[in-house]
Amino acid sequence: MDRLSVKKTEDFLKNKLDGGAYLSAHPDAKEYRIEHSYRVANIGRRIALSEGFDETEMVAACLLHDVSYCEEFGENGWREHGRRSAHIARPFLRELGLAEKRINDICYGIAIHVDDEADFDGERTPFALSVGDADNIDRFDAYRIFETLSKDGFLNMSFGDRLDYTEKRLARLREITDLPMGTNTAERLWKERISFYIEYFEKLHAQLESSKAIVCGEE
């Protein structure tokens, strides 16, 4: 991995996010976006190492996938943020001296990571798909369980609502277990994360059920 190029990419990301009016006024949101970008980059690096992709290119793509959070989001801001991130990233990637074909592959992966659409021509290569895969895999880690339960107000729910919440989460998790990914490595990482989530919410649901009555059938 070209550590100088990676360091330049890290600095570029942080400088862009530092300059964003919204994130400057909401330091917690800025810190979260940087932390998320690092986690996605580390997942992307694992995919790159396993699949034989260029490590530096993948880390750069993942670090920059949300760089457009430096801008104010309009009505369709969230939906457009992948395409805007690609637009912001392209001139910087040229400064790194990457070949245009590689820059386009990186930018295409960044552009499609939100809604699977880009505003320029590109190919859905395994490399490009891996940017979105790494982003999705990060949605299912240990920290996200804590974050989601906190955000959804789990502790303040009634007992019945907690049971209903865990049942719905389990149903949704089972639906997305076999979500297609761009590489075998991403599929393996995805299944590991989803299995971890299912196990956690199964245990949480079982504990809730055993909190109000004697559970029959357990020996």
Query: What is the tens place of the pLDDT at every residue in 59-88?
Result: 999 999 999 999 988 777 789 999 999 999
Class at the top of the CATH hierarchy for domain 3-138? mainly alpha
Evaluate if residue 217 carries a pLDDT over 70.
no
Average pLDDT over residues 212-218: 69
DSSP result, 136-196: HHHTSSHHHHHHHHHHTTGGGS-HHHHHHHHHHHHHHHHHTTT---SSHHHHHHHHHHHHH
In this prediction, residue 174 carries a pLDDT of 97
Residue-wise pLDDT for 76-120, tens only, equals 778 999 999 999 999 999 999 999 999 999 999 999 999 999 999
Average pLDDT over residues 15-19: 94
The answer to whether the CB of 104 falls within 8 A of the CB of 87 is no
Evaluate if residue 127 carries a pLDDT over 90.
yes
Average pLDDT over residues 118-141: 97
Distance from the first to the final alpha carbon of the chain:
54
Average pLDDT over residues 13-21: 93
In this prediction, residue 219 carries a pLDDT of 55
Average pLDDT over residues 141-162: 94
How would residue 218 be classed by pLDDT, with cut points 50, 70 and 90? Answer: low
pTM of the model: 0.92
How would residue 21 be classed by pLDDT, with cut points 50, 70 and 90? Answer: confident
